[in-house]
Amino acid sequence: MPLRVGILISGRGSNMLALAEYAQQDDVNADIALVIADKPAQGLDHASQLGIETLLLDRADYQNRASHEAAIINALDDAEVDAVFLAGYMRVLSADFCHHYEGRLFNIHPSLLPRHKGLDTHQRALDGGDREHGCSVHLVTADLDDGPVLIQRAVPVLADDDAETLAARVLKEEHIIYPMALGALAAGLLSIDGDQITMEIGELPGRINGVDAPLSWPA
């Protein structure tokens, strides 16, 4: 059975698209079962165009975070997802939500964690005089951007960079390592059991745009 994946978005969903296009390859044993947005989002249209089921659960329609998260959990559980990937989901999730999907909830963060948790990571990297910057795929826990890091990719910070140019270069790397994490999970090269994270060395299935196959895991 393919790995069933739910994705949460808040905007255009570029990382969602990277995951979906990777998962739709015949040799990748994964299926994007559902994409949920917490507000009207361009990414829902993109997902629909790929034939993926979508759902808008607008947080403005709910009295509080608890009722909104309950609706998301019900939708994901009804879709029988095995894993949940956050792809530009701009809402801090409660401890209860994180515990419900413990070991199955993933995020892509635009910095080399543990450096620059939270927002405005590119400007903070520039302000801090960082010589390199990048992105991290990590497990989500109740503490913001504090879960175990699974894979990272770095880019140099150039002398003429501003936050926009640096962000664009990092985003290209996000579109590589997030599908890599999905591929490793689907192929059994990445397994999570409570606090135990196991990574086996192997080749990932499929191709990721702009990167020659085969890709090796861990990177």
Are 32 and 48 spatial neighbours (Cβ–Cβ below 8 Å)?
no
CA distance 95 to 214: 37
Which tokens is 69 given?
Answer: 């998260």
CB-based burial label for 131 (10 Å; 0-12, 13-18, 19+)? exposed
Which tokens is 166 given?
Answer: 């640096």
Q: Which residues are catalytic?
A: 109
Q: How many other CB atoms are there within 10 angstroms of residue 31's CB atom?
A: 18
Greatest alpha-carbon pair distance for the chain in Å reads 49
* Closest by CA position to 5, among listed 27, 18, 20: 20
Residue type, 123: Q
The SS3 assignment for 60 reads helix
CA distance 101 to 147: 13
